[in-house]
Amino acid sequence: MRKVLVALALTALGGFTGGPATAREGIEALARTCNNCHGIGGVSVGNSMPSIGGLPVEYLRTVMKQWKYDERSAITMNRVVKGFSDDELDALAAYFAKQPWKPSPQRVSPEVLAKGKSAVSEKCEDCHGITGSDPDVGVPKINGQWAKYMELELEKYRSGEFKMPHRKMKKAAQEAKPAEAPAAARYYGAQNR
């Protein structure tokens, strides 16, 4: 199976002369390996797995290579990406970046929404925008991203036990009060546009 995936990836990367249709089919086959966790087209249906379709190519490329080279902590992704070449990771990043971003807004109470908006305004808005849909260049959209996933990521940033290389994000998460991080995650998770 691995040989088939590598051959398909090489096709996608131009290693074989099959033309654009063959290359597209190759990367689509390689991207299907991500579907079990991240959903078809990168749209996750589970609350602890992030949607990745439509995220910036540079963000996706950077994060996958940080996992591959043990610069960033993860539960499973470190092991998964080690099986891919850098060219395959670049092709996957480009593929998922071209997919549409599809928020999955989650319901929250008005109280949590208000508390989250306050935390976002104070700690998150500069990079992610007030709704998470208009982030800085290279920063992922997080409007309608799964709140549970974002809470787990924020806990990794708050903890000293995990390698999380984004210094500005780490500083903001560590400066947040314990209740602010989950409220901000739920606020962003509730945004539909």
Q: For the chain, list the domains and their CATH numbers.
A: 2-97 (1.10.760.10), 110-189 (1.10.760)
Q: Tell me which residue of 138, 133, 114 sits closest to 187, measured CA to CA.
A: 114
Question: Does the pLDDT of residue 7 top 50, yes or no?
Answer: no
Instruction: Report the 10 Å Cβ neighbour count for 109.
Output: 10
Percentage of the chain beyond pLDDT 70 is 88
Q: What is the pTM of this model?
A: 0.84
Instruction: Return the pLDDT at 26.
Output: 80
Torsion of CA 73, 76, 78, 79, to 10 degrees: 150
**Helix (H/G/I), strand (E/B), else coil: 42:** helix
Instruction: Report the 10 Å Cβ neighbour count for 28.
Output: 12
Quickly state the pLDDT bin for 146 (edges 50, 70, 90): very high
Tokens, residue 103: 């928020």
Q: For tokens 């190519």, what's the residue?
A: 57
Question: Does the pLDDT of residue 47 top 90, yes or no?
Answer: no
For residue 158, the one-letter residue type is R
Rounded Cα distance, 64 and 81, in Å:
7
Instruction: Return the pLDDT at 9.
Output: 47
Digit-coded pLDDT (tens) for 8-30: 444 444 444 445 556 677 888 88
Q: What's the average model confidence in pLDDT over 123-128?
A: 94
Question: Does the pLDDT of residue 129 top 50, yes or no?
Answer: yes
Instruction: Return the pLDDT at 21.
Output: 58
Average pLDDT score, the chain: 88
Digit-coded pLDDT (tens) for 75-100: 899 999 999 999 999 999 999 999 99
Instruction: Return the pLDDT at 20.
Output: 56
Instruction: Return the pLDDT at 15.
Output: 43
Quickly state the pLDDT bin for 116 (edges 50, 70, 90): very high
Euclidean distance between the first and the last CA atom of the chain, given in angstroms as a whole number: 39
For residue 175, the one-letter residue type is E
